[in-house]
């Protein structure tokens, strides 16, 4: 990934006027499209902003982005410690229990944003940004409670590395959007969202996240 990013950053000053380094931090919520529930999300990143016109700029960047989701109260069949399925003695129907799962997903993400600056006062702007992002899964944990198909203590709780789970994809891509305000101090604050297009796993889940982002330009 870095072999594609570094040449781009080196070539940008040849084609436009550099505006400087842009730091951004954020915290918020993340989930998957569908019935999954939200967990906390975070990001920390750096970008290289380039002025295209008086109002437009281009900012490639690189950031660490923590996403994930939880899927509680999944209905599952109950098995005894010898892996025999259990049935209700009165009705003959299979017994069911509840499995709770949550997963964290930490990515190295590269957003490529086009921004529009609307001046509201000296050195103050409304900023609207959008563009694609590419991401690669670095780490994360999937936690499971109540899986009676497991043995021993794992029937109650176990952890696996998220991106080592079968059917899970490390690569992610989608669209990032941002709406914020830049103050004369070069500090900006706004709302940011990632809209995943790639499937996180073979079940068809896609990432979605929303952050309150704080930025600073050097």
The answer to whether residues 174 and 194 touch, using CB atoms and an 8 Å cutoff, is yes
Q: Give the pLDDT band of residue 79 (cuts 50, 70, 90).
A: confident
Domain that holds residue 176: 18-75+104-140+168-217
Count: domains in the chain? 1
19 vs 212, higher pLDDT: 212
The whole-number average pLDDT for the span 9-14 is: 40
The answer to whether residues 151 and 168 touch, using CB atoms and an 8 Å cutoff, is no
Mean pLDDT of the chain: 86
The whole-number average pLDDT for the span 53-70 is: 94
The answer to whether position 5 is within a domain reads no
* C-alpha to C-alpha distance for 125 and 119, rounded to whole angstroms: 4
Task: Give the model's pLDDT for residue 8.
Answer: 42
Task: Give the model's pLDDT for residue 73.
Answer: 67
Task: Give the model's pLDDT for residue 4.
Answer: 45
* C-alpha to C-alpha distance for 101 and 168, rounded to whole angstroms: 15
The whole-number average pLDDT for the span 110-137 is: 95
Within 10 angstroms of residue 203's Cβ, the number of other Cβ atoms is 11
Which tens digits make up the pLDDT trace of 163-182? 998 889 999 999 999 999 99
CATH number of the domain within which 195 lies: 2.40.160.20
Task: Give the model's pLDDT for residue 117.
Answer: 95
The answer to whether position 182 is within a domain reads yes
pLDDT at 17 over 60: no
* C-alpha to C-alpha distance for 95 and 86, rounded to whole angstroms: 6
**C-alpha count within 13 angstroms, C-beta hemisphere, residue 202:** 4
Which tens digits make up the pLDDT trace of 80-123? 777 777 887 878 787 777 788 899 999 999 999 999 999 999 98
The answer to whether position 153 is within a domain reads no
| Entry pTM | 0.80
Lowest pLDDT segment from 2-11, 93-102, 119-128, 154-163: 2-11
Task: Give the model's pLDDT for residue 136.
Answer: 97
- Which residues does 135 contact at the CB level (< 8 Å), separation at least 6? 65, 107, 108, 109, 110, 171, 172, 173
The answer to whether position 195 is within a domain reads yes
The answer to whether position 154 is within a domain reads no
The answer to whether position 157 is within a domain reads no
Q: Give the pLDDT band of residue 35 (cuts 50, 70, 90).
A: confident
Q: Give the pLDDT band of residue 10 (cuts 50, 70, 90).
A: very low
The answer to whether position 155 is within a domain reads no
* C-alpha to C-alpha distance for 109 and 197, rounded to whole angstroms: 14
* C-alpha to C-alpha distance for 177 and 214, rounded to whole angstroms: 14
The answer to whether position 11 is within a domain reads no
């Amino acid at each position: 990934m870095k072999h594609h990013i570094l040449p781009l950053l080196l070539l940008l000053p040849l084609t436009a006027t550099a505006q400087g380094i842009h730091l951004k931090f954020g915290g918020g919520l993340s989930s998957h499209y569908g019935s999954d529930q939200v967990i906390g999300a975070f990001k920390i990143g750096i970008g290289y902003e380039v002025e295209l016109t008086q109002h437009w700029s281009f900012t490639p960047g690189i950031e660490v982005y923590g996403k994930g989701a939880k899927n509680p109260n999944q209905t599952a069949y109950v098995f005894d410690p010898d892996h025999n399925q259990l049935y209700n003695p009165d009705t003959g129907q299979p017994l069911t229990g509840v499995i709770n799962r949550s997963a964290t997903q930490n990515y190295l993400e590269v957003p490529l944003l086009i921004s529009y600056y609307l001046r509201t006062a000296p050195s103050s702007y409304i900023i609207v940004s959008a563009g694609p992002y590419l991401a690669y899964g670095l780490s994360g944990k999937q936690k499971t409670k109540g899986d009676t198909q497991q043995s021993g203590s794992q029937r109650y709780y176990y952890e696996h590395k998220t991106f080592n789970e079968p059917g899970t994809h490390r690569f992610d891509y989608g669209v990032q959007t941002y709406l914020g305000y830049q103050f004369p101090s070069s500090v900006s604050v706004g709302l940011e969202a990632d809209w995943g297009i790639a499937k996180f796993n073979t079940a068809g889940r896609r990432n979605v996240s929303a952050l309150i982002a704080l930025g600073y330009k050097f």
